[in-house]
Amino acid sequence: MASVLVSGCAGFIGSHLVELLLQRGHRVTGLDNFDPFYGRHRKEQNMAGFRQHPRFTFHEVDLRHGQDALVDALPAEPIEVVVHLAAKAGVGPSVQAPIDYLDNNVLGTTHLLEWMRQREIRKLFFASSSSVYGNTPARPFREDANLQAACISPYAASKLTGEQLTYTYHHLYGLDVLNARFFTVYGPRQRPDLAIHKFVRLLQAGQPIPVFGDGSTARDYTFVLDTVAGIAAGVEHLLTHTGVYETLNLGNNRPVTLLELIKAVGQAVGVEPELRFQPMQPGDVDVTYADITKAHQLLGYAPRTPLAEGLQAFVQWMGQQEGQ
Task: State pLDDT tens for residues 86-103.
Answer: 999 888 899 999 999 999
d(CA 166, CA 155): 17
Residue 193 confidence (pLDDT): 86
Task: Please give the average per-residue pLDDT across 195-224, as a whole number.
Answer: 95
Identified catalytic residue from 101, 133, 155, 289: 155
**Architecture in CATH for domain 3-183+222-251+289-304:** 3-Layer(aba) Sandwich (3.40)
| Alpha-helix residue ranges (DSSP H) falling in 120-257 | 154-173, 195-204, 224-240
Task: Please give the average per-residue pLDDT across 300-318, as a whole number.
Answer: 97
Q: Do residues 277 and 211 make contact, with C-beta atoms less than 8 angstroms apart? A: yes
Residue among 256, 276, 246 nearest 163 (CA) = 246
Residue 280 confidence (pLDDT): 87
Residue 324 confidence (pLDDT): 52
Query: Three-state SS for 150?
Result: coil
Reported confidence tier of residue 150, pLDDT bands at 50, 70, 90: confident
Question: CA neighbours within 13 Å on the CB side: how many for 51?
Answer: 10
Residue 322 confidence (pLDDT): 64
Helix (H) or strand (E) holding 107: none
74-78, 275-279, 286-290, 292-296 — which is least confidently predicted?
A: 74-78
Q: Where are the beta strands (DSSP E) in the chain?
A: 3-7, 27-32, 56-60, 81-84, 123-129, 176-182, 185-186, 209-212, 218-219, 222-223, 245-250, 256-257, 275-278
Average pLDDT, the chain: 95
Question: CA neighbours within 13 Å on the CB side: how many for 47?
Answer: 24
d(CA 199, CA 202): 5
With a CB cutoff of 8 Å and minimum separation 6, the contacts of 36 are none
Global pTM reads 0.96
The contacts found for 72-76 with CB under 8 angstroms, 24 or more apart, are 73/31, 74/5, 74/29
Residue among 180, 197, 314, 191 nearest 251 (CA) = 180
Task: Please report, for the chain, the start and end positions of each structural domain, with discontinuous segments joined by +.
Answer: 3-183+222-251+289-304
Q: What is the number of other CB atoms lying within 10 angstroms of the CB of residue 96?
A: 12
Reported confidence tier of residue 37, pLDDT bands at 50, 70, 90: confident
Share above pLDDT 70 across residues of the chain, in percent, rounded to a whole number: 99
Active site residue 155: yes
- DSSP string over 121-140: --EEEEEEEGGGGTT-SSSS
Query: Three-state SS for 246?
Result: strand
Reported confidence tier of residue 323, pLDDT bands at 50, 70, 90: low
Check whether 212 has a pLDDT greater than 80. Answer: yes
Q: Could you tell me which residue, 31 or 36, shows the higher pLDDT?
A: 31
